[in-house]
Chain A
């Protein structure tokens, strides 16, 4: 009987408040862990470690912040690709410092929906970059996790089968993949089916409903998804990434439900759905 490592939540949606405040609230709601944003300002790990100890939470992972050409593993400028590799390597070291088992990366930066050169060339650059990051992380406890995004955020890896192909091409055993249900709802022919077929190397999963609100607020059916995760023996964290539709329009804070109601609904609905199958 497979048991997940625990329930986690990506604090990116706690805009405008301290990491400590968000962690405290998640602890109170019964989460086991926090997924931490890969912001370089946090990288010495001291503040994050202290907050996690106080809150009694683990770090389930570090999620890269993949904005701009200097965080793009497959952009045409080799200097930028090198900067992206260095960024991710630093983020992986941070993950190690805070005891997070994984660093989430992506083969393009967020929002790059067309190739600059050719898909084949950019795929090759991404593979090269991820292999370098993985080699630098070798011997640490941090795995490199390739995330698939929907077509509006990247053109290169949109589905689990593609993420898994990239993992195979990288050919390092400290590399895995992850899916995010919001993205999968757009890109996968069938979400549960994709997990059955490509879930063997899943190291993380972001839950969200179809509209990126808390699970239960959209139309995704969790039952077949939980069944698929159990069938592939998934034993890592069940995490969540929730965001409002108009993130750019939210100046200082996101709508109120993202801070309290949605995290509470998330853990309740995920636990219920996991236990029900």
Chain B
């Protein structure tokens, strides 16, 4: 298993992204610490100079594994289950643009908060689920045409009430025939929603693209109480060779979080021999 770290070209004060702003410096630091890859947190590809990014990744020997798209929801209100078809189309278009960019840099595109939140009224919620399914279909097609694929992340109840567990997310994907969309799991969300983190990881076997190893308090792994050993043992046992990503709050500051996360995971992987 290899290690990735989340970076955001823009400063996003409330985001759980350890390295923010000055993408060139973030890439340099990630490489210096020993990370193998980055995952990008951005609302639109225009946040970076693509040529400079590609050059920076190459020069530092880093892969770019994923583009997290939620900033478009929080900052621009783009939502794949919005009431208005025009608004849903705009959200799909954004994912399409992200897919083009993702394909060019070798990254998948992660659908998280852009799925939105379900209305308390059950009939409206059903319509929203159907709208999201429709949007997701268009996004998946766009991803395939661009030459990449989508990931979807179960998130805790405070972020959204729509797809909060591994089981619920897999059931949704299967109901809509999406073997082309894999899961990305975040242990911070799992700590709240899953009755058993290792069992939930096992439930996703074969369908997890990468996992964000975030501790219970959203700090770097090792700074809370999550038992990462048991989760990694399940992943290792299921033939997982993907990335573990440190997408955490910059506590006590970004570089310290990045270093702490790397040191802890390296130590753990060494002890588990994976």
Contact = CB atoms under 8 A, between A and B. Distances in A.
Interface of A: 114, 150-152, 185-191, 209-211, 217-219, 245-246, 248-249, 251
B223 interface: yes
A187 B224 CA distance: 8
Contacts of B158: 150, 152
Nearest to B13: A114
A211 B194 contact: yes
A184 B222 CA distance: 17
B118 A249 contact: yes
A211 B225 contact: no
Contacts of A210: 191-192, 195
B192 A211 contact: yes
Contact of A188 (B118, B196, B217): B217
A219 B195 contact: yes
A146 B125 CA distance: 37
B145 to A, nearest CB: 35
Nearest to A218: B195
Contacts of A217: 195
B161 interface: yes
25 contacts: A114-B14, A152-B158, A185-B216, A186-B191, A186-B216, A186-B217, A188-B225, A190-B225, A191-B225, A210-B192, A211-B192, A211-B195, A217-B195, A218-B195, A219-B191, A219-B194, A219-B195, A245-B157, A245-B161, A245-B164, A246-B120, A246-B161, A249-B120, A249-B122, A249-B161
A152 B193 CA distance: 14
Contact of B193 (A190, A245, A248, A251): A245
Nearest to B225: A190
Nearest to A152: B158
Contacts of B161: 245-246, 248-249
Q: Is the interface of B mostly helix, strand, loop or mixed?
A: loop
Counting from the closest, the 8 A-B pairs by CB-CB distance are A152-B158, A245-B157, A246-B161, A249-B120, A248-B120, A218-B195, A190-B225, A219-B196
A219 B192 CA distance: 9
Nearest to A113: B14
A209 B218 CA distance: 19
Nearest to B159: A152
Contact of B191 (A114, A185, A245, A251): A185
B197 interface: yes
Contacts of A246: 118, 120, 157, 161
Q: Which of B194, B197, B225 has the most CB of A within 10 A?
A: B225
B196 A189 contact: no
Interface in B159-178: 161, 164
Contacts of A151: 218
Given A210-B192, A219-B196, A248-B120, A189 B225 contact: yes
Which of B161, B195, B218, B223 has the most C-beta atoms of chain A within 10 angstroms of its own C-beta?
A: B195
A246 B97 CA distance: 33
Nearest to B198: A219
Contacts of B195: 209-211, 217-219
B217 A189 contact: yes
Contacts of A185: 191-192, 216
Contacts of A219: 191, 194-197
Contacts of A189: 217, 223-225
The residue in A152, A186, A188, A217 that gathers the most chain B C-beta atoms within 10 A of its C-beta is A186
A209 B195 CA distance: 9
Contacts of B224: 189
Contact of B125 (A187, A209, A245, A249): A249
Interface string B224-253: 110000000000000000000000000000
